[in-house]
């Protein structure tokens, strides 16, 4: 089987549903690219490296060094109707796990409740990522902060391959978030689990600045410094929030015109590309617009995509095709 090629034999999902699609490939020999990526984390213990390798060796992109993760924390974050109303099948937690397996995703990420509803049925068919903190839109707090809603021990109990956590750089509550994260990363490593860090600028930053290239690159760098193994940020726009950063970008001649240029700077800001940086799907877009963004992310050296609403809010067959097309782009097809 070729480099990153998906298996296509029929399989049982463990959810009472069966269908064609790639099975996780957890027993393939490590490629040179996977070995290179693992070498960037020399302080980590074998358990953490093994779980990181599991993410890199699962699904349609196994062995390529690229990841496509399906995250479904939107019900908690935005409410069920806003999240699942466009495709009512999404109210059922089984639907999302099935979608991730059927399309050959690298992993499936969700809060505690959704994972508890499906983990026992999956028996390791796809790596799971427990999102250990979450927020909701009901409370209007002056300093954005997500509540810690589950634990590292929950992730171990559910057989997860990693934990996920959100920080809000720019929030007045950032100190508490960073300090909680420090303890979570240390505990996760003690159990051999890597950490996926959602880094979304909020608080004392303009709305346009939340996705500005200087802010996104800074948030990615902060994430790497905090010890994240995988960093999730939004696709950066051609806007610079900080006057000091604008001068620095201009003096260094850093290109920001295209999304590929901006992705390249975000990746470079993450230890010169030695941390895995993946990009969210962003706001709802047409399929051509979304795929053009993915092409630009790939051209800029991004390690992949973590795509939620843009995938699961579409009708099932359309979601499957979209995710497979995204994986095809990252596989260089």
Residue in this structure with the two tokens 């850093």, named with its chain if needed: 254
- Dist. CA 70–CA 101, nearest whole Å: 10
Other Cβ atoms within 10 Å of 291 Cβ, number: 16
CA dihedral 299, 303, 309, 315 (to 10 degrees): 70
CA dihedral of 198, 204, 208, 210, whole degrees rounded to 10: -10
Residue 223, classed as helix, strand or coil, is helix
CA–CA separation, 271 vs 250, rounded Å?
21
Closest CA to 176 of 206, 148, 209: 148
DSSP H helices in 79-195: 80-84, 93-103, 112-122, 152-157, 174-190
Rounded to whole angstroms, the Cα distance separating 248 from 242 reads: 10
Task: Enumerate the β-bridge partners of residue 237.
Answer: 212
- DSSP letters, 40-91, are T-TTS-HHHHHHHHHHHTSSTTTTTT-EEEEE--HHHHH-HHHHHTTSGGGG
CB 163 within 8 A of CB 184: yes
Q: Which residues participate in catalysis according to the annotation? A: 232
């Amino acid at each position: 089987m070729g480099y990153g090629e998906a298996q296509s034999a029929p399989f049982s999902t463990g959810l009472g549903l069966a269908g064609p699609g790639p099975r996780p490939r957890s027993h393939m020999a490590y490629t040179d690219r996977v070995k290179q990526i693992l070498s960037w984390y020399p302080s980590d213990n074998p358990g953490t490296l093994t779980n990181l390798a599991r993410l890199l060796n699962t699904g349609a992109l196994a062995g390529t060094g690229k990841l496509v993760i399906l995250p479904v924390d939107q019900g908690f974050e935005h409410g069920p109707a806003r999240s699942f109303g466009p495709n009512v099948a999404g109210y059922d937690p089984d639907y999302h796990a099935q979608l991730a397996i059927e399309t050959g995703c690298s992993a499936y990420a969700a809060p505690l409740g959704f994972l508890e509803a499906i983990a026992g049925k999956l028996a390791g068919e796809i790596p799971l990522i427990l999102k250990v903190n979450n927020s909701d839109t009901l409370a209007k707090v002056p300093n954005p902060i997500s509540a810690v809603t589950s634990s590292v021990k929950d992730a171990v109990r559910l057989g997860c391959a990693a934990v996920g956590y959100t920080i809000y750089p720019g929030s007045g509550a950032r100190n508490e978030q960073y300090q909680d994260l420090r303890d979570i990363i240390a505990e996760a490593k003690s159990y051999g689990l890597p950490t996926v860090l959602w880094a979304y600028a909020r608080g004392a930053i303009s709305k346009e600045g939340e996705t500005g290239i200087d802010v996104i690159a800074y948030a990615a760098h902060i994430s790497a410094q905090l010890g994240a193994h995988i960093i999730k940020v939004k696709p950066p726009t051609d806007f610079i929030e900080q006057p000091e950063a604008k001068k620095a970008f201009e003096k260094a001649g850093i290109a920001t015109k295209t999304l590929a240029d901006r992705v390249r700077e975000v990746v470079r800001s993450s230890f010169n590309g030695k941390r895995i940086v993946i990009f969210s799907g962003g706001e709802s877009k047409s399929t051509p617009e979304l795929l053009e963004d993915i092409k630009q992310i790939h051209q800029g050296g991004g390690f992949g995509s973590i795509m939620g609403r843009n995938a699961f809010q579409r009708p099932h067959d359309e979601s499957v095709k979209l995710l497979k097309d995204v994986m095809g782009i990252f596989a260089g097809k």
